[in-house]
Chains A and B, each alone.
Chain A
Amino acid sequence: MSHGLNIYKADGSLGFSTLDITWMQIDQFTVAANASVSNSYPEVTGMTVIAQIQMINDPPESQEAYAPEVTISGTTVSVAPYTGKTSEQVIIMVLAQD
């Protein structure tokens, strides 16, 4: 490349480069069943934010296992049960890309 940053390993192989694309990890937290959480991240202003949801428990074979609703509004990530529904315990991973 004519400009940019290449970071090499000791063996001369390329480890990371400004040709790469990535997502930054902003936060990760666990949300209890039926709980609501709202967190703000001013550092992601102007960035694209996604939240990956991971179920913690096996799906029961005796009832619905609803994931909570995740809402991203600007720099705020909110997690809450859908209206009228319960929600399972989940892990939330907040990622941002410039």
Chain B
Amino acid sequence: MSYGFSAINTSGQVIISDEMENLHFLGKATLTGNDGGSDNVYGSDGRIIFTYTITTSATPLVFIKPADYNRWHAVMTQSNSGSNWTFDVIVSGTSSSNPPELFCFVNANNATGTSETHGLVVWKADGTTRTFDSRYNPLAISGGGNLAPATCPCNDGCPTTTSGHPWNYNTLDHDFGTSNQYNSQAISGTYTNLMFSAPSLAQAVYKRQAEGYKCSSHPSWQGGCQQHWSTAMWWMMYRNGFRIRNGYFDAGWITYASGYSFSSNHESGGWFGGGGGGYSTGSMPYTAKTINQTSNAYMTADSTRYG
């Protein structure tokens, strides 16, 4: 370049420039509540959704700093109304204790409120737009990579029988839990200081189903019965979550919601047949499958630099 400013790190990478903007620490988002862990049924690992807010005219990049590194975390949604930003963070387990912290980073020009008196500020050629301002703790990362969650969220693999088991079938062909379904990459640093930023996009629905004939009767029918072809189905919906543990970053799954459906078609005609008809209630979100299962870039950083 003929003029301007750039700083190059020991790996030869430009890390400060008068043309491109660094991210700077805006602050921690404020925890405003949680959903009480609704939808925790059917023996899942459970989940709770914590809600956070922060005010900024920029779009913040968020890092999650777990308080409990045994739990899985993900920013499920990020939305704004004007400069008021709201984040829903899904965390595995049912305890509302130990919510994670959310560290928010924005470009220098939208970082405000510091009382720091020393440092370095770099402006663009327009003389008014800051690209770097050391007073606002510029983001430095400690690692990262690309990672996708395991294809199937269900412990012991996805169900191989998708059309339905007979009534009274008592073999568990898959587990709705997710604890052993993840992919990992090695990371460095004191893991209990680390925070991460990673897109949570993948989601999945899987089910357990039983179906078959049942008959209903009345003493006056003298042993006859009306047949019902009935299907009962329990489903679990999952969302991609992440975990930091000693030496590794994991992309796995968190149970998000669950439900059931039941349908029954009544026999019609025949000696003891009934009048036909049927009954149904509930439905799956969509046909059992995993969607959005792509490899996404993630970053880790040392949270102790940002208080």
Contact = CB atoms under 8 A, between A and B. Distances in A.
Interface string B130-145: 0000110111111000
Nearest to B107: A25
Interface in A17-60: 18-26, 28, 43-44, 50-60
A96 interface: yes
A24 B138 contact: no
A58 B20 contact: no
B77 A23 contact: no
Contacts of A96: 20
Nearest to B203: A59
Interface stretch (B151-159, B264-272, B290-298): B290-298
B79 interface: yes
Interface in B58-103: 58-59, 61, 75-79, 88
Contacts of A10: 116-118
B211 interface: no
A7 B201 contact: no
B160 interface: no
A63 B283 CA distance: 11
A21 B299 CA distance: 11
Nearest to B200: A55
B285 A25 contact: no
A97 B10 contact: no
Nearest to B198: A52
B237 A59 contact: yes
Contacts of A19: 9-10
Interface in A40-96: 43-44, 50-67, 91, 93, 95-96
Interface string B251-276: 00000110100000000000000000
Contacts of A15: 119, 134-135, 137-138
B21 A9 contact: no
A39 B23 CA distance: 20
Contacts of A9: 116, 118-119, 134-135
Interface in B231-248: 237, 239
A54 B9 contact: no
A24 B7 contact: no
A53 B201 contact: yes
Contact of A25 (B22, B199, B297): B22
B15 A18 contact: yes
A53 B199 contact: yes
Contacts of B257: 61
Given A52-B296, A56-B79, A91-B59, A21 B17 contact: no
Contacts of A62: 283, 285
Nearest to B238: A59
A25 B23 contact: yes
A93 B120 contact: no
27 contacts: A7-B120, A7-B134, A10-B116, A10-B117, A15-B138, A18-B9, A21-B140, A21-B142, A43-B20, A52-B61, A52-B199, A53-B199, A53-B296, A54-B78, A54-B199, A55-B78, A55-B200, A56-B79, A58-B76, A60-B285, A61-B259, A63-B285, A64-B285, A65-B203, A65-B291, A66-B292, A93-B61
Given A22-B22, A60-B285, A98-B8, 20 more contacts: A4-B9, A10-B117, A18-B8, A20-B138, A22-B139, A23-B139, A24-B22, A25-B23, A25-B61, A43-B19, A54-B75, A54-B78, A56-B79, A57-B79, A58-B76, A59-B256, A65-B203, A93-B61, A97-B13, A98-B15
